[in-house]
Structure 1
């Protein structure tokens, strides 16, 4: 009987993790739908680089604001319903993009994509925390992060290939089609992921919450988690967008090799996320986060010095990505503990929505900082900036760990 029950729990956990991971991959896919199409969009709509960049800013600003609001919707209406709505909005954004006849429709498509993207972190993490067995949460978090990385990687390949073979409008339609299977699977099997009593309690009145609907904002650890994600993303966005040209000039690398360095970082990060899932069971996720980011920061400083051999750039970038990825699952566990400590398990949606809006804030702010450094040819400072923001993220993580009550520390 026990063996049968255990097998059922394992299958249920696997299904929940798979469904949520697939949805997360789609959300990250749509974050990268527009950039590969910029050459075609700029030509057809006479856009400047600044205007094209504003499309992405629109997506992330809407997503950042919407993410905090989506957390309340998750707690009120249930994570499963909100996740379905998010997927539907992403599909709609692809259709709007394909039908665009002027720049206004382009920005509308970007805004709708931002609204769709906004729901995923509060909905995903609420489902994982409420439905997956605690012993497998670490692996759930690592799989969730890895799925998002794969979504990022798949979008440029598919969008560029379809746009080159047919047109950018057909590519936008292809993006909309990507949503169909995950949406159908989640609608069909989503009852396996939906927590029992998922929407039984109005926000702010559910058992386990502390006070008003906005009571979680009184918890300092929640604000420190927001600061952590802001700093984390400021560093990651710089790696994603600016390290290829910076490293190329510092080490006299060809464009293909410099771009491969960022790919090496992403692959290393994916491997680190998988490994990090085995470390989450420890009692001090803040220290794992600190150790991983400290190693990544040290490597960033080595690269900033310009003293490394060019042949070592790719392995060093892979190592930096590995250590940053290793911290990922423990990062998510740290937020979980903060949510329980600061507001109660019934407020997962609100806490995750607010905290993870720091990601979108970082994505919106990073170009303002690192873009100016690149324009001023301050290439070494870009690498130093990555190390500095990772260091600030370490301080925030350790501060969160110190504020958690002892009862919240063990997994």
Structure 2
């Protein structure tokens, strides 16, 4: 009886939103993604200190993105079958080893190996971190996922600061400072893992009275169709986001005759407003519905996206801020929608939507770069501005009430 009391103490009822767990897992997401952002931030340093070619730098980026994104659905699928709370600190330990290796790596192959470990840690963290947010959400799943995802967005946007404040003065060895961030995340995740274990024990005990096995593995035609629409919407959002974050600086330099430093301000505004939009989207979805926010996120950002290539330098700040905020408002909401679309597959759906977003972004960078080489920067920036219009397909998604009916 004592152990049952302990479980109940650590695992609150499903209707309770556990804010301390949400804020800790959000902080860990920030630390994880800040560690990931060290890698692209280090490119200028590695290019100079080790004489790496752009092809080699591309291989480093490819290794990080493919390991961290492609493995996410695989990890999520496995942990849906067999949840592993202590995989969270184990994953960040992999990242810690990777960042340590990155600080000391004397050769390109060892850098690739270090990046592989960082990508592996990230692939384990994301689906399991999203599951923790789901379990701690209670009835406020949109808000919970926003708290979790905004941590990651904030960490990702740290790359310019990491380059300027740490890697430029300290060089490759400067990466050693991020072992502190990784060690801190491991300690926090050990605490999370204890709560997660207790929560799982509580859920298993409760679910003996309610059979959940009927939802496992059976996907109806309607669910598969909705998943296909979600994948397409993630593609549209990720490719347009990739166009802005990777190539808008070059467009601003060419169109407005700015310096590199001045052009970077546009990307900073886009990323910061994107983080705010990610946070705002969850509570809005809890109030107005997930499908509505996914639809509005793309459609409402389309007019500003279409105007952006033709705007003057000052108006562009306003437009790119609005695009960043509105477009990112559906990021966390899409994850929750997919999780509710396929109940019992929390990790798989998180890995699919988040991993797919990063994977699509990586592929988009290569594809859009090729299109720019083949046509022109102006033509590609103008063409990709139409991508948010594909949000009209969100009308094909089942309404939130329909998802609830399917779960009965």
Q: Give the TM-score normalised by the residue count of structure 2.
A: 0.85
Match of 1:228 among 230, 233, 237: 233
State whether residues 142 and 333 of structure 2, in contact with CA within 8 Å, keep that contact through their aligned partners in structure 1: yes
Which residue does the alignment assign to 1:39? Answer: 44
Distance (whole Å) between structure 1 residues aligned to residue 113 and residue 395 of structure 2? 40
Matches within 5 A, 1:9-408: 13-134=18-139, 136-169=140-173, 171-194=174-197, 195-197=199-201, 208-210=212-214, 219-282=224-287, 284-304=289-309, 306=310, 308-340=311-343, 346-376=344-374, 378-392=376-390, 394-401=391-398, 405=402, 407=404
Equivalent residues of 2:70, 2:356 under 8 A apart: no
Q: Using a 3 Å threshold, how does the CA distance of structure 1 residues 391 and 83 change in structure 2: closer, same or farther?
A: farther
Q: 1:183 Cα deviation (Å)?
A: 1.0
Conserved in 2, the CA contact under 8 Å of 1:221 and 1:403? no
Deviation, 1:298, is 1.4
Change (3 A) 1:406 1:20: closer
CA deviation string 1:108-155 (max 9, x = no partner): 111111111112331122112223211x32222222222112111334
1:278-309 alpha-carbon deviations (Å, 9 max, x no partner)? 311246422222212222221111012x2x23
Cα distance between partner residues in 1 of 2:369 and 2:137? 41
CA contact (8 A) 1:225 1:396 kept: no
Q: What is the rounded CA distance, in whole Å, between the counterparts of 1:248 and 1:209 in structure 2?
A: 56
- Report deviation, 1:377: 6.0
RMSD value, Cα: 3.0
Contact kept in structure 1, 2:41 and 2:162, CA below 8 Å: no
Q: State the alpha-carbon separation in 1 of the partners of residues 393 and 340 from structure 2.
A: 15
CA deviations over 1:20-43 (Å, ceiling 9, x no partner)? 112211232132111221122122
How many equivalent pairs are there? 390
Checking the alignment, whether the CA contact within 8 Å between 1:37 and 1:159 is kept in structure 2 is yes
What secondary structure sits across from 2:285 in the alignment?
A: coil
**Could you tell me how far apart the structure 2 residues matched to 1:408 and 1:361 are?**
32
Q: 1:371: how far off?
A: 0.6
Counterpart Cα distance in 2 of 1:276 and 1:14: 17
Q: TM-score, normalised by structure 1?
A: 0.84
Residue 198 to residue 238, structure 1, CA distance change in 2 (3 Å): farther
Provide the C-alpha distance between the structure 2 equivalents of 1:364 and 1:261, rounded to a whole number of angstroms.
20
Shift of 1:242: 0.7
Answer whether contact 1:290 1:398 (CA < 8 A) is retained: yes
| Unaligned runs of at least 5 residues, structure 2 | 1-8
Take 2:112 and 2:96, find their aligned partners in 1: how far apart are those partners?
A: 15
Q: Which runs of 5+ in 1 are unaligned?
A: 341-345
Give the superposition deviation at 1:317: 0.9
